[in-house]
Amino acid sequence: MVDGGGLENRCTRKGIGGSNPSPSANLRSGAGRRLRLTFLTAALILTAAWAEAQPVPLTITCNGANGRSVTAVQALNGTIAKAVVDSDERAVVQYDPRNVDGVTPQDHLFVYAHECAHHALGHDPRASFSAAQEQEADCYGIRALMNRVGFTPSDVVILQMDMTGLGTGVARRLPWRARTYDLEGCVPEVAASRQAAARQGETGPDACVVHNDGENAIEKSSRDGRVIEGVYSVRNGCARDVNCTFTIEVGTLLDSDVDVGSWRSFRVQRTMTQDHMLKSAQAGSSAKVDFRFQATVDTVPPRELVDFRVMPACHD
């Protein structure tokens, strides 16, 4: 990531002051105006900082299969979140609000949304959930986060990496045993592409290409942070050559979102494309290939960083 600190804030206010001031007011107008501007600027900065510092929520509202609201109940039991039925037969999700090393707020929210999904889907939390039910709850939760919280497909990719990479100690805080995740398959566009490929009886070219925005890197940057040299990696997992157009979006996002791996505040300033042919896996080119580019952004606002993401579109 590239730090955009140090750039001038070009948002200024002019012409603040009363009309026809008295002579005594004229003597004080310069200092008074500067004082008012100082207070106003400080208030704006504090307001912006407060807005940007709002944490990712730990819970999300949902209804059970019977249409009744699922209740969120704090429980300091060490489990991130768990679907239960209380003594009054009400659908409840217990959650531990304490921070866990190695678990981002997005991870925590996903676990809660997954558990809420069990209730929404009519799964009985008093019985063991099957692998199919766990995947169904994964997808229900992912769609809820995309529709209501603003998760993007890139967020889902990062989330899958997080969940797959959880250590043994942290995994004990999950309400389910160690298992595989296919959160990317819950994204509607990915699911539609897979279904289309299945109907054709073959793997489509887009499904051949493996790319993860979490592996993107900025190798160099200018002193002011506006010019970057980036690199992204791709791999062709199919036994045929594919040609791809890679759309690269370059922009800025809040440094607080960088810390938690979210794209929700990403603002695109430059878009470019690169065309590459990826050799087939049979040709011995199944290893990842790095592609580089250079781009310039107009501005890097305070408390924001430069970043980029890549979207492949492939054909045979």
| Nearest in space to 185 (alpha carbons), one of 166, 165, 159, 223 | 159
Q: Which amino acid is at 193?
A: S
119-131 tens-digit pLDDT: 999 999 998 898 8
Phi-psi region of 102 (alpha: psi -120 to 50; beta: other; left: phi over 0): left
- pLDDT score at 210: 84
- pLDDT score at 9: 29
**Domains, in order of start, for the chain:** 71-186 (no CATH), 203-315 (2.60.40.10)
15-60 tens-digit pLDDT: 223 333 333 333 334 444 444 444 444 444 433 443 344 577 889 9
pTM confidence score: 0.53
Q: Which residues does 261 contact at the CB level (< 8 Å), separation at least 6? A: 104, 106, 155, 158, 159, 162, 214
The continuous run of DSSP H or E covering 119 comes out as helix 105-120
- The mean pLDDT of 195-218, rounded to a whole number, is 76
Kindly report the length of the chain: 316
- pLDDT score at 287: 65
123-153 tens-digit pLDDT: 999 988 988 899 999 999 999 999 988 899 8
Give the count of beta carbons closer than 10 Å to the beta carbon of residue 16.
9
Give the count of beta carbons closer than 10 Å to the beta carbon of residue 24.
8
HSE-CB at 243 with a 13 A cutoff on CA atoms is: 3
Phi-psi region of 131 (alpha: psi -120 to 50; beta: other; left: phi over 0): alpha
Do 13 and 231 contact (CB within 8 A), yes or no?
no
Coil, strand or helix at 292? strand
276 pLDDT above the threshold of 60: yes
| Nearest in space to 214 (alpha carbons), one of 183, 242, 239, 238 | 183
Q: At what angle do helices 105-120 and 153-164 cross, to 10 degrees?
A: 100
